[in-house]
Amino acid sequence: MDVQMVAQEFSLTPSLRQHLERRLAFAFSHASRHVMRIVVRLRDLNGPRGGRDMVCQISVTMPGRPGMVIREVNDNMYQAIDGAVRRAAYRARMVTRRSPGSRHRMTAPDEPADQQSEQ
């Protein structure tokens, strides 16, 4: 899995980079063999003026699937990263569960999870 990070209008600090790397590694550990590339773009829209303007955009490329882009805006970059990574990993997990040959089966909304193991 190839991961690229791009920061625009601000400096990507070592602690922010480490936070992002840890979040991505944990969130995509289940789908690492299905994900070819992740591109993360971090941006401060308003610069020093402040406000709800920290953007984390994550693009995920999976073979044989259309690319997905998740964008999270928050006043705190760490929270923007957390939200975007969580949503991107959830969508990637849903795509891999629905793929042919997948070992996982999604349960119907009205089917209890414990009945899944009986089938």
pLDDT in tens, 97-115: 765 554 544 444 444 444 4
Residue 52 confidence class, pLDDT cut points 50, 70, 90: low
DSSP 108: P
CB neighbour burial string for 56-92, b if at least 16 within 10 angstroms, e if fewer: bbbbbebeebeeeebbbbbeebeebbbbbbebbbebb
Among 74, 51, 65, 53, CA closest to 93: 65
Fold classification of 2-113 is Double Stranded RNA Binding Domain (3.30.160)
* 6 or 109, greater pLDDT: 6
Domain boundaries, the chain: 2-113
Residue 64 confidence class, pLDDT cut points 50, 70, 90: confident
* 5 or 104, greater pLDDT: 5
d(CA 116, CA 75): 41
